[in-house]
Structure 1
Amino acid sequence: MAAESHGIDLLPVIALLGAAVVAAPLFKRIGLGSVLGYLAAGIAIGPFGLRLLQEPSSILHVAELGVVMFLFIIGLEMRPSRLWGLRREIFGLGIVQVALCALLLTGVGVLTGFPVAPSFVAGAGFVLTSTAIVMQLLEERREMAAPKGQRIVSILLVEDMAIVPLLALVAFLAPIVPGSVAASGAIDWLSIAIGLVTIAGLVLAGRYLLNPLFGLIAGVEAREVMTAAALMVVLGSAYVMQLGGLSMAMGAFLAGVLLSESTFRHQLEADVEPFRGILLGLFFLAVGMSLDLGVIARNWAMILFYVAAYMVVKAIVIYLVARLFRASNWEAIERAVFMAQGGEFAFVLYAAALGTGIISSEENAILTAIIIVSMMVTPLLIAALRLVERNIPLSTDGVERPENLSGNVLIIGFGRVGQIVSQVLLTRGHVISIIDTDVEMINTAREFDFKVYYGDGKRLDILHAAGAERASAIVVCVDKADDATKIVELIKAEFPLIPVLARASDRRHALDLITAGADFHIRETFESSLVLGQKALEALGADLPEVAEIIEKVRQRDEKRLELELVGGLYAGRPLFSGKLEPVEAVPPGGSA
């Protein structure tokens, strides 16, 4: 009889994966975001829920690698030249925000009766925003590459780097705290020197060793070896920084920056991304499991008070600093809501303070609960912010309205089409005037030194202020078809001699623009579709003269159909083309071509 063998206990793994698979899509579907779903799922399966997992700390240590890999991928996107371009945000905006938040949050603790040292540790820990939560939210909203997203990333970098001097300050404060375990008040210059040497060594290794290493591995043409090498670089750099007494995440970020100019950058990102996603979700699950509901039950009033006090004070400081650095009112509000919570690096700071005796184990548990509750509240606040955003118009503070503009070309609408048209005209040396009603687009254009005025092209007074009667041509590039048609009708009624060129969204819109009097229109998908068809024919071996002849035939058939529809008003629901590309009598209503 074979000896009975005990297999691996798969229940915890299944519980983690099942909780993630159920909670994250559910919470994202109802508009609360995947982060809150992971946190709630962690509470449900943790020691204070179904008790499927009893030791969240062991999972948290592994899951922290998700944050490490996330910072590595962010580093890959942050080329040194790009970081230098963000120097104002990093060394100005970031440092001012961190310093003011630390000072005022320390004041909250002192004013409520706690000594200076524990108050500083508690407040400084709350300053360190959750990089994982904010980055995930920016990624979900596709705002990571936007200028306002880049400013948030810059502040997060400063906060992540701030963990190093904060840990040094904890060691410095420990001797002056009664009952602490520190024996001397001297600054540990040796630890500082080791940290600096570690950073220098990692920079040198990244600059001179990593590219040759990946070049050698790429020559082997073994995909799994490249993936293993990518993981080795991420984890190795994090481990080296940890040995030097610094943040693992900072090491991974630095490695990413050093590889950002590498020809292997995209391959590395593709290799690390799956591990990053899984481990980051696991990190949020572990944070949820770490929430000690017993501590909250015993100290719920204190925890709720400090969550509210810290988040309100921090949000106010962030808002004021953002306005000081000339952010728009709405961007300042968004940044304040996004970054009002504490973060995962606070756990490291509190553990160090516990080890030196600055705070007790009970205080550490309470502070940890405050951080976790604030992290859980953030997605709810952002969801509420989105509801408010949908119901109020964007502020036009700082947005200029047109007044006696003198460009020889007026562009109405500065979306994708308007931006490209403006580049063509500027390259030829024309002076252009641009109006749009999208406040966010106007503010973004201003950040790139592009002047766009706030104005509705459907209003005659705005057209006069924008210099429409003096323009040599007017280009209508607005997104909404009805708006574009009304603008063309108004312009041709008031300024009939000025050429009007318009973007059409589809075939029906093209007919409306022709009827409205547009001198020229172009359907946004028609020309690109012709080019795509042309390239397809070339790829299939057709001769260039034959391809040109076919494309011209298709274009002529399309023009004839437009003429037929204009004359006869034909909107029958038949196909645009027959199988042999022969003319047909009618086209579908509002065809997309």
Structure 2
Amino acid sequence: MTMSGSLFPQMLVLLAGAVVAAPIFRKLGLGTVLGYLAAGVVIGPVMQQITEAEEVLHVAEFGIVFLLFIIGLELKPSRLWQMRGDVFGLGTAQVVVTGVVLTGLSLLVGLAEWRGSLVIGFGLALSSTAFALQILSDDGDLNSRYGQRSFSILLFQDLAIVPLLALVSILATGVGETETSALTGLAVAVGAVVAMILAGRYLLTPLFQVIARTGAREVMIATALLIVLGSAAAMQAVGLSMAMGAFLAGVMLAESSYRHELEADIEPFRGLLLALFFIAVGLSLEVDVLWEQLGFILVAVPVFMLTKGLITYALCRLLGSPHNDALRIAFLLPQGGEFGFVLFTTAVAAGLLSSGTASLLIAIVTLSMALTPLGATIARRLMKVEHEELDEDFEGAGADVLMIGFSRFGQIAAQILLAGGRDVTVIDDSADRVRQAASFGFRIYFGDGTRKEVLIASGIEKAKIVAVLTQKREVTDKIVDLIRSEFPETKLYVRSYDRIHTISLRGRGVDYELRETLESGLLFGRKTLEALGMSGAEAEAIEEDIRKRDEERLLIQAADGLMAGRHMLHNRPVKPEPLIKPKNAPAAEDEGALAEEVAD
């Protein structure tokens, strides 16, 4: 079967390969990336189900486009500023020094001429973000000192892919160009970047405000895809990479209130197309070349990993890391990364590397990735490092409090939290409320809290408390049920609609709930008694007595049903009654609940 045949059967084969391989490799602790690569090798070179990998790669490259868009979305200037020393100091040093040394090794063994060796050196200098972050997460070390420095290096490597892709284009086209044409091309490219920045600053946010008011989620998704693909096409039209355009669009929207919603909408496309990209890389492997170079690969992999690890260790020590931390970082980041595949396949298309050399490099990177979990395990056994938590989480990776809903109740609660010096991430699905809040200096994001992917993008996995302050009971219940199902360890503080809703929320296991009118009603009643001549102490004692008996009755009702605890209304001076006693009232009517519902 070739790509010239029916597309449908081929897509079924690719999807089946991803579905089968990814869970198996994840279970083995090798990660989904290696699973996709293995699936591509089996489908293509081994079984010969798809033989023209280039056409698959052409479509799958959009996965890289979407990935760089999301990387751009996450690069808030404030976060970069906080980590600037490690990101632009240690990160830059690691990429540049490792790239130069590996370029020299490539020239020494004759893998390619100088331009191709430059791509090889810097491609191998990049580590696997997916592998490293997964290991840090599994070990609970994302917030450790060495975890922070590792993340900073990975963050700079993610940034470095953009100029490296541009470098490939320059190396491929620079030879033979006249000085005039080169300057013209540079001017056009700079102009396109400036135009992209201006469009992102002045057009994108108003566009999303208009789209959000329609309430049509599919239109929002279509708009997000249009922005990503449109910006990618614009950069390609002026001679830059599509990835560069997507990255710029992401950076322009990083401070937008719609950032989390955009990330949630794009993520499924990114994941699927990126998986297809890695499968296509496997399809393009030349097994014959690998078999012929097996001896070279078995020597090159340990030499490459040792060289990279030693450089990383030396730089970390030079820039202030203790011995133990530097050693753990060196064990964590010695492998090649996903972006190496991108650079090598791009270099093949540009004529800088042969397909055979690219297959050899991809095999080296793949084996280094497969060996990384083993190296991390060895490091954990050799090292005895106390678990260290930082005082603050990474800015932009999730605040202490994730607040869902920003109506009047949420606005008051947020003021208390912000005045107490706590970071709060707020999401709301009303475009008008997002815009109005921004005019008063509040920073909230547009997003639907009933969607798991929006919660993840908003930082729920980092939040210490999630406050659900939505107005409608059914929406609140849906969010609570979702969080209890998908994030069972999350501490939930919830705004309750009424007494019945309070009992329902307690049955769902929330950590704290408060009826939206309870405290304000109690305070109003106490102040009224004081205005009628009662002493403040006596009025306060009555308020506290009502609050205490209300809580006792709630506990009884939660255990025995809504009709339980009625006697507690009549053995005290307070006896709530409806304003107008209904005719033919049902025998089972609960007086307290009815009075509260009338008040609500």
Q: Deviations over 1:537-593 (max 9, x none)?
A: 7379898665533546899x9xxxxxxxxxxxxxxxxxxx965799xxxxxxxxxxx
Tell me the residue number matched to 2:31. Answer: 33
Task: Could you tell me which runs of 5 or more consecutive residues in structure 1 were left unpaired when the two chains were aligned.
Answer: 1-5, 176-181, 396-437, 449-523, 558-576, 583-593
CA positional deviation for 1:385: 3.1
Which letter does structure 2 place at the counterpart of 1:52? Q
1:384 is the counterpart of 2:374: yes
Which letter does structure 1 place at the counterpart of 2:32? S
Tell me the residue number matched to 1:162. Answer: 163
1:439 is the counterpart of 2:384: no
TM-score, length-scaled by structure 2:
0.61
Tell me the residue number matched to 1:538. Answer: 515
TM-score, length-scaled by structure 1:
0.61
Query: Against the structure 1 CA distance between its residues 134 and 387, is the aligned structure 2 distance closer, same or farther, given a 3 Å change threshold?
Result: closer
Query: Against the structure 1 CA distance between its residues 54 and 143, is the aligned structure 2 distance closer, same or farther, given a 3 Å change threshold?
Result: farther
The CA distance in 1 between the partners of 2:14 and 2:492, in whole Å, is: 50
Tell me the residue number matched to 1:80. Answer: 77
- Give yes or no for contact 2:493–2:512 (8 Å, CA) kept in 1: no
The CA distance in 2 between the partners of 1:296 and 1:526, in whole Å, is: 52
Q: List aligned pairs for 1:352-391, cutoff 5 A.
A: 364-391=354-381
1:91 is the counterpart of 2:88: yes
Which letter does structure 2 place at the counterpart of 1:154? L
1:262 is the counterpart of 2:260: no
Given the alignment, which residue of 12, 15, 24 partners 1:14? 12
Q: Percent identity?
A: 39
- Root-mean-square deviation (CA), in Å? 4.1
The CA distance in 2 between the partners of 1:526 and 1:117, in whole Å, is: 54
Query: Against the structure 1 CA distance between its residues 246 and 41, is the aligned structure 2 distance closer, same or farther, given a 3 Å change threshold?
Result: same
Q: Deviations over 1:364-411 (max 9, x none)?
A: 22331233123322442232134325534433xxxxxxxxxxxxxxxx
Q: List aligned pairs for 1:189-204, cutoff 5 A.
A: 189-204=183-198
Query: Against the structure 1 CA distance between its residues 337 and 247, is the aligned structure 2 distance closer, same or farther, given a 3 Å change threshold?
Result: farther
CA positional deviation for 1:59: 1.4
Which letter does structure 2 place at the counterpart of 1:97? Q
Which letter does structure 1 place at the counterpart of 2:361? I
Q: Deviations over 1:399-437 (max 9, x none)?
A: xxxxxxxxxxxxxxxxxxxxxxxxxxxxxxxxxxxxxxx
**3-state SS of 2:61 partner:** helix
1:279 is the counterpart of 2:227: no
- Give yes or no for contact 1:163–1:345 (8 Å, CA) kept in 2: no
- Give yes or no for contact 1:94–1:159 (8 Å, CA) kept in 2: no
**3-state SS of 1:209 partner:** helix
CA positional deviation for 1:275: 1.0
- Give yes or no for contact 1:138–1:144 (8 Å, CA) kept in 2: yes
CA positional deviation for 1:240: 2.0
Query: Against the structure 1 CA distance between its residues 538 and 352, is the aligned structure 2 distance closer, same or farther, given a 3 Å change threshold?
Result: closer
1:324 is the counterpart of 2:321: no
Q: Deviations over 1:106-146 (max 9, x none)?
A: 22133335754553343233334456666777788887786
Tell me the residue number matched to 1:421. Answer: none
The CA distance in 1 between the partners of 2:346 and 2:330, in whole Å, is: 28
CA positional deviation for 1:338: 4.8
Query: Against the structure 1 CA distance between its residues 307 and 57, is the aligned structure 2 distance closer, same or farther, given a 3 Å change threshold?
Result: farther
CA positional deviation for 1:242: 2.5
The CA distance in 1 between the partners of 2:248 and 2:140, in whole Å, is: 23
Query: Against the structure 1 CA distance between its residues 127 and 389, is the aligned structure 2 distance closer, same or farther, given a 3 Å change threshold?
Result: closer
Task: Could you tell me which runs of 5 or more consecutive residues in structure 2 were left unpaired when the two chains were aligned.
Answer: 395-488, 495-501, 523-544, 566-600
Query: Against the structure 1 CA distance between its residues 326 and 105, is the aligned structure 2 distance closer, same or farther, given a 3 Å change threshold?
Result: same
Query: Against the structure 1 CA distance between its residues 389 and 129, is the aligned structure 2 distance closer, same or farther, given a 3 Å change threshold?
Result: closer
Given the alignment, which residue of 40, 64, 68 partners 1:67? 64
CA positional deviation for 1:104: 0.9
Tell me the residue number matched to 2:204. Answer: 210
- Give yes or no for contact 1:295–1:365 (8 Å, CA) kept in 2: no
Alignment: residue pair count: 426
CA positional deviation for 1:66: 1.5
Which letter does structure 2 place at the counterpart of 1:272? I
- Give yes or no for contact 1:90–1:158 (8 Å, CA) kept in 2: no
The CA distance in 1 between the partners of 2:271 and 2:79, in whole Å, is: 25
CA positional deviation for 1:210: 0.4
Q: Deviations over 1:80-108 (max 9, x none)?
A: 22233333334322322222122211221
The CA distance in 2 between the partners of 1:525 and 1:238, in whole Å, is: 38
